[in-house]
Amino acid sequence: MTRMLIIGPPGSGKGTQADRICGVLGIVAISTGDIFRANVKGETPLGIEAKKYMDNGDFVPDSVTNRMVRDRLAQSDVAEGFLLDGYPRTSPQVDELDDILGAAEASLDVVVQLTADDEELVKRLLGRAVETGRSDDTEAVIRHRLDLYREQTEVVVSRYAERGILAKVDGLGEMDDVTARIMDAINKVKGEAA
């Protein structure tokens, strides 16, 4: 069983690698974006509350996000493990996740941080913007998003590094090579923790 988190800057291939890792390990991918959309679509009380913020272009507050993640982690399909993508993003969310998992006498096994050179990420994201027709993804906007990512995740990354469960993996290169590096890193961290 593996309980893990994958984090990385925009354009690092996080979503693609999350799907691949889950396929290899036979675990469930849990994306906060997917949780938000499912709750909004299902018109759950949390979804209705989250939609108010999303419609205004605001971040959904930690209190709402935490309750959604708590509900999702209580579902039976996560019993054999899971991969979180997009949560936790702040130190209070790390505390909340610790509380959620601690109630089930569990904890995260590994945190994979995909790394990549900013210039390569900008190039990738500009290319993706052209392919998808996203005119809002300018170089200035992309660089701002990369700065925000670093500001938000620095404390999260350092907290998991202190626990000895952080694995930094180069997110650049062929997809299969990146997946192989991630699997090696997961096995190394889990082996050291055993």
For residue 194, name the pLDDT band (cuts at 50, 70, 90).
low
pLDDT of 57 over the 80 cut: no
Say what angle helices 139-162 and 118-132 make with each other, to 10 degrees: 130
Binding residues for ATP: 11-16, 128, 173
Name the pTM for this structure: 0.88
pLDDT in tens, 173-187: 999 999 999 999 999
DSSP 3-state of 186: helix
Q: What is the pLDDT of residue 101?
A: 96
pLDDT of 54 over the 80 cut: no
Q: What is the pLDDT of residue 193?
A: 66
Select the more confidently predicted residue: 85 or 59.
85
Domains, the chain: 2-193 (3.40.50.300)
Mean pLDDT of all residues belonging to the chain: 90
- The share of the chain scoring above pLDDT 70, in percent, equals 98
Q: Is 116:170 a contact under the CB 8 Å cutoff?
A: yes
DSSP 3-state of 4: strand
Mean pLDDT throughout 69-89? 93
The 3-class SS string of 107-153 reads: CCCEEEEEECCHHHHHHHHHHHHHHHCCCCCCHHHHHHHHHHHHHHH
Catalytic residue numbers? 14, 89, 128, 134, 145
Site of tokens 């941080």: 113
pLDDT in tens, 11-46: 899 989 999 999 999 999 998 888 888 888 999 998
For residue 128, name the pLDDT band (cuts at 50, 70, 90).
confident
Mean pLDDT throughout 70-88? 93
Query: How many Å apart are CA 126 and CA 171, to the nearest integer?
Result: 17
Binding residues for AMP: 32, 37, 58-60, 86-89, 93, 134, 145
- Cα–Cα distance list, 100 to 2, 26, 73, 74, 106 (Å): 16, 22, 8, 9, 9
Residue 148: CB atoms within 10 Å = 12
